[in-house]
Amino acid sequence: MRKGQNPAKFVKTVAKPQRITAALLNYIPFLSGFYAEALDVLKVCLESMRRDAGLPFDLMVFDNGSCAEVRDFLIKEKEEGRIQYLILSEKNVGKGGAWNVIFGGAPGEIIAYTDSDVLFSPGWLARSVEILETFPNVGMVTARPFRTPPEFYSATLDWARKNATLEEGQFIPWETFLEFNLSLGQTEEENKKVYAETRDWRIQYKGMTAMAGASHWQFTAYKSTLQQFLPFDMDKPMGQVRQLDQRMNEAGLLRLMVSDPLAMNLSNTLGYLRGELKKKERRKTKVGFGKRVLEIGFIKKILLAVYNRIFSWYYS
C-alpha cells in the first residue's frame, strides 16, 4: 500500500532542453600506446567546443566502453554540470551503434556531432547553423573546409549549378589544406601533388558562402534529417562510417562546409598544439637508423600485424 503522494506530482514545470544538442562520441580503451594522450585530447576537445561556440547548446557524451579513468573523468564532468547528458556503454558498440542512440535520442532539434579528437575555434557552431538554416535541403555542415571525395557531394553540385553561384578553383589556402592532411599522418611532399591536381567548389547563395563537401567526423544537422537514415548497421567499429556521407548524397541532400577552418583534427596527440607536426616534417634528415629500419616495408607490416593481434586479443 502506498504511503503519501509522490512529490513529483507537485512540480509545476520541467527543464526544457536547448534547441541544439552538441553530441560527442568517445572511445579510449586504455591510456598507453596509441591512446597515451587520448584523455588529454578529449579534455582539449571539450574545452574548445564549449568556449565561444556562438550559440547555446546542451552537451551529450556517448562513451563507447572506455577505461575506468576516462569514465571517472566524464562522470565528474557530468556531476559538475559541464555535461548535460552522459551515456556510458558497457562495451564498444561501434560508431554505427552509437549513432543509432545519439541520433535517435538527442533532445535538441539540431545535432552538432563530433568525434572526441576535434579542436574547435570560436564561432564554430554559430557559423555551421547559419549555413544550415540559409541553404535549402541541407543534410550536414562541417565546420572546416577540406577536400573530400567528390562522389559524396555530386548532388550538392547538381543543385548549385541550377540554384546558386558555383565556382571551381583552389579556394582553400595551401597552408590550411596541408595543416589538416598532416594531422592524418600524410607527408607534405605527397600533398603537394594532390593539392595541385584537385580543386574546391565554392557556392554563393543568399549572400552566404559555403564549400561543397562535408564529413562524418564533425557535422551539424537537423535531427529529423539524421533520423531518416536510421538504423546504421555496421559490423565493424570503424571503416564503414561513410555510409552517412553516401546515403545523404543519394538522397539529394546538400553536404556543405564553412569557408574557413573552425575545426581541426587533433588525432591521438596534442602534437598539433605543440607545433610538433611541422617540426617533424622538417626533421627528415635527422631520422635515426632504428627509425629507418622500422619504416622498411616488410618489417613495418609484420610489427603492425603483431600490434593489431595483441589489440584484438584484449579488446575485440
Give the pLDDT band of residue 242 (cuts 50, 70, 90).
Answer: confident
Cβ-contact 60, 21 below 8 angstroms: yes
Largest CA distance in the chain: 81
Which amino acid belongs to residue 61?
A: V
pLDDT higher than threshold 90 for residue 3: no
Average pLDDT value for residue range 120-124 = 98
User: For residue 187, what is its C-alpha cell?
Assistant: 607527408
Average pLDDT value for residue range 298-303 = 69
Average pLDDT, the chain: 90
Cβ-contact 117, 46 below 8 angstroms: no
| pLDDT tens-digit series, residues 69-90 | 999 999 999 999 999 999 999 9
Q: Quick one: pLDDT at residue 85?
A: 98
Q: Quick one: pLDDT at residue 148?
A: 94
Helices (H), 80-187: 94-105, 124-134, 154-163, 174-182
User: For residue 144, what is its C-alpha cell?
Assistant: 572546416
| pLDDT tens-digit series, residues 247-256 | 999 999 999 9
Average pLDDT value for residue range 138-147 = 98
Give 264: exposed, middle or buried? Use CB within 10 Å, 0-12, 13-18, 19+. buried
Q: What is the pTM of this model?
A: 0.85
Average pLDDT value for residue range 188-199 = 93
Can you tell me which residue has the cell 595543416? 179
Q: Quick one: pLDDT at residue 264?
A: 96
Q: Quick one: pLDDT at residue 295?
A: 60
User: For residue 128, what is its C-alpha cell?
Assistant: 555551421
Q: Quick one: pLDDT at residue 263?
A: 98
- What domains can be seen in the chain, in order of their start residue? 20-265 (3.90.550.10)
Among 115, 101, 128, smallest CA distance to 20 is for 128
Cβ-contact 121, 47 below 8 angstroms: no
